[in-house]
Every structure is written in structure tokens, then in C-alpha cells.
Amino acid sequence: MQPTAETSRRLARLSAHIHPPALEMKDPSTLSPSACRAKGGASGFKVAILGAAGGIGQPLALLMKMNPLVSVLHLYDVVNTPGVTADVSHMDTGAVVRGFLGQQQLENALTGMDLVIIPAGVPRKPGMTRDDLFKINAGIVRTLSEGIAKCCPHAIVNLISNPVNSTVPIAAEVFKKAGTYDPKRLLGVTTLDVVRANTFVAEVLGVDPREVNVPVVGGHAGVTILPLLSQVKPPCSFTPEEVNYLTDRIQNGGTEVVEAKAGAGSATLSMAFAAAKFADACLRGLRGDAGIVECSFVASQVTQLPFFATKVRLGRAGAEEIFPLGPLNEYERAGLEKAIKELALSIEKGVSFIRN
């Protein structure tokens, strides 16, 4: 049976409703409320997330949209940003959200940013090490760092993409080449190691994890993740069995999630939580708040290595002060030696990716 003219008209109306005009999908920056009076940026900081449509990027976009210190939030990815942007932009919080899709919009995404958070890149599957991601993620981090050097050379950079032990040196080398390198502004995100350490230590002690602070130093992969259980606050002591259990669980927390997800990726929700916590600390530092201390993988003279994660004090200039390791016990000194050996190779691999 042929549809009547009226039925055809109704079907056309319905279909237009289901498939919104293609224009928005072609140019996601038109998703910004350009015709509205709200422009954002009057006060607060401008933050970009690169890799915003991914497993970490999406919940991180949600958490940064909730952060009252953020006035403008730019969401950049090579896929799916129109949808994520439309979704997050409906939250009735202060930040104005704009989406950017594909390499040709990278410069617009980055221009004017105060803080750039990078969770772009492939995650692990069971059986892989973080270093196995180097082949793909090294190139992604290089391209994004080149964009930062060109469009927002003074932004604070929070680098999440693995292997962090190599991607931070890669970004540093790109910035050096461009003549924009400021070691205080490039921070590898190791907050998830601290978040896990606080959680696991609190479980063992039977206390609230929010009351526990465990410094985790070194890097962000296997034995390079070195929890300093002798320096836990508030002060406490552990049996040798507890120390072995906790060190092993903290060092392999990422693998625990990768195996549980069984091929569907690595930590995303706890990572977004950790990244949002760290980004908030960076923004409070930028605002000039005093006494903001977090662990981060940064350019450092604490050991013989050019990069190392320790406690750093965050301020207007980024990582303004890098704290020494403090007193280590024999177990931790042995762990430090192992960490340094592996870290040296990972750092060198990142440096020579750009230099050679």
C-alpha cells in the first residue's frame, strides 16, 4: 500500500527529529553557545581534555564540568566529541563546554588554555605491559605536545597517557625543541597510585581512606611504583607480611583492573577520579592557594635520574618545589634501586624517540 501524502509528511518530520541536522556533527565547535550571552571565562580557568571521548576522558569531562574553578572546558578527541560535548554541556554548572573533533581542530581546542589534561591513547589488554603501548602512544603524545608548544606554551600539562615513564620525557623533548620547555609545568599524573595506596592501606588498618596519606614515589609502572609505607600519615606500622602484600598490590593495581576488565580496557573511573583530584590541585595552585602538595612524575634532581615522582608543591608556576625522598628503610632502599634501573631505560626510550 502506498503511504498517503499526510503519512509521508509525518514520517519526514519524525525522521528529522530522530536524525538532528548534520551541520552540528560536521562542526562540533558550533555546539558551543556562540549565539548566547554566556561566553565563559569571566573568572576561573580554561581547561582542555585531549582524548575526551575515551574511557577516562568522558568521566573526567563530567568531573571537570563540576569543578567550580573551571570557567571554560574544551573537549578534544579524534572521534565522538560532538556527542560527549552535547551531553556534558547540559549540566547546570558554571563551565562553558566546547567540543573539538579531529586534528584540524586541535589548535582551536588548545588556544588560550591554562591547563591541558591528556588521557589520549590506547589502553592495555591482559598480558601487556604499559611499555607495550609505547609504539602507538608515543606518536600521539608527540603530536599533542607539538600543538601545546604552538598554541598554549604556558599551560600546565597533566600527562596521563601511558607509559607515563616515557611519555613525560617525550613531551619534555618536544617542548625543548620548540623552545617552550618549562619543567615546572609538565607533570606526569601518578595520583592513581596514591589513591590506590591510600585505599589499600586504609583497608589493612581498618580506617577511613580519606584520613590516610601514602607517599608513592618513582614512576608509574610495576616496580617503579614505590610506596613509602614508612612515611604513611598518620604514622602507623605494618608487619613484614603487610608490607609485602601492600607493596605488591599497589604496584600491580593497574594490572588488577586490566585483568578484571578482561580485554575491555584499563582503569577509567578511578583514573578519572584521580585525574580530577590532581587537576583540581593544579588549579588551586594556579589560583595561588598555599600548601598544595601532591605526588607527580616531574623533572627532578632528587635522584640521578632526570625525571622522578615525589611530593611536589603546586603553585602559580606549576611544580614550584620538589621535596626530597625523606628517610627510607632498608626495604624501601632496595625497592628504590630496582625502580631506578627500570626508570632509566624508560626515560631514555622516550628521550631518544624525539632526539633520533
Ligand X SMILES: O=C([O-])CC(=O)C(=O)O
Per CB under 6 A, which region of 9-17, 227-235, 254-262, 341-349 contacts ligand X? 254-262
Is the bond into 126 cis (omega within 30 degrees of 0)?
Answer: no
Q: Which of 17, 74, 154, 220 is catalytic?
A: 220
Residue whose entry in the numeric block shows the C-alpha cell 631518544: 352
Part in contact with ligand X (CB under 6 A); list of ranges 65-73, 138-146, 253-261, 332-340:
253-261
Rounded Cα distance between 306 and 299, Å, is 6
* DSSP output for 225-239: EEE-GGG-BS-----
Question: Is 160 annotated as ligand-binding?
Answer: yes
48 is in an annotated binding site: no
- Whose grid coordinates read 556534558? 88
Residue 52 assigned ligand-binding role: yes
Q: Is 37 annotated as a binding residue?
A: no
**Strand pairing partners for 236?**
none
Interaction of residue 222 with ligand NAI, rule CB under 6 A: no
Q: In angstroms, give the least distance from the CB of 220 to ligand X.
A: 6
Letters for 278-297 (x = contact with ligand X by CB under 6 A, - = none) are --------------------
Q: Which window, 15-23, 133-141, 233-241, 335-343, contacts ligand NAI (CB under 6 A)?
A: 133-141
Q: Locate cell 589534561: which residue?
A: 117
Instruction: Give how far the C-alpha of residue 68 lies from the chain's centroid of Cα atoms, to the nearest Å.
Output: 19
Count of residues touching ligand NAI (by CB under 6 A):
33
Residue 220 is among the residues annotated as catalytic for this protein: yes
Annotated binding residue 221: no
95 binds ligand X (CB under 6 A): no
Q: Which residues contact 279 (CB under 8 A, 6 or more apart)?
A: 47, 64, 67, 115, 117, 158
Contacting residue, 25, 62, 78, 202, with ligand NAI by CB under 6 A: 78
- 117 alpha-carbon distance from chain centroid: 5
Taking CB under 6 A as the rule, does residue 296 contact ligand NAI?
Answer: no
Binding flags for ligand NAI, 262-281, as an x/- string (CB under 6 A): ---xxxx--x----------
Return the residue matching grid coordinates 574511557. 55
CB of 220 closer than 8 Å to CB of 317? no
In the list 28, 40, 44, 51, the residue contacting ligand NAI (rule: CB under 6 A) is 51
Residue 33, φ and ψ in degrees, nearest 5? -75, 60
Q: Of 130, 142, 184, 311, which lies in the binding site for ligand X, with binding defined by CB under 6 A? A: 130
| Sheet strands (E) in 190-334 | 216-218, 225-227, 292-299, 307-315, 318-322
What whole-number distance in Å separates Cα of residue 11 and Cα of residue 2? 13
Q: Check residue 254 for interaction with ligand X (CB under 6 A).
A: yes
Is 162 annotated as belonging to a binding site? yes
42 is in an annotated binding site: no
Residue from 145, 149, 148, 143 nearest 180 by CA? 149
Give residue number: closest CB to ligand X.
254
Among ligand X, ligand NAI, none, partner that 258 touches (CB below 5 to 8 angstroms by kind): ligand X
Contact 142, 170 (CB under 8 A): yes
**77/57 Cα distance (integer angstroms):** 9
Region of 23-31, 154-162, 200-208, 332-340 interacting with ligand NAI (CB under 6 A): 154-162
Query: Toward ligand NAI, which CB reaches closer, 53 or 69?
Result: 53
**Distance from C-alpha of 262 to C-alpha of 260, rounded to nearest angstrom:** 5
210 is in an annotated binding site: no
Please, what's the largest Cα pairwise distance for the chain? 85
From ligand X, ligand NAI, none, which one binds at residue 257 (CB under 5 to 8 Å depending on kind)?
A: ligand X
Q: 140: which 3 cell numbers? A: 600521539
DSSP 179: T
When asked if residue 192 is in the footprint of ligand X (CB under 6 A), the reply is: yes
User: Active-site positions?
Assistant: 220
**Residue ranges that bind ligand NAI, judged by CB under 6 A:** 50-51, 53-57, 77-79, 119-124, 133, 137, 140, 143-144, 160-162, 164, 189, 192, 220, 265-268, 271
**Residue ranges that bind ligand X, judged by CB under 6 A:** 123-124, 130, 162, 192, 254-255, 257-258, 266-267
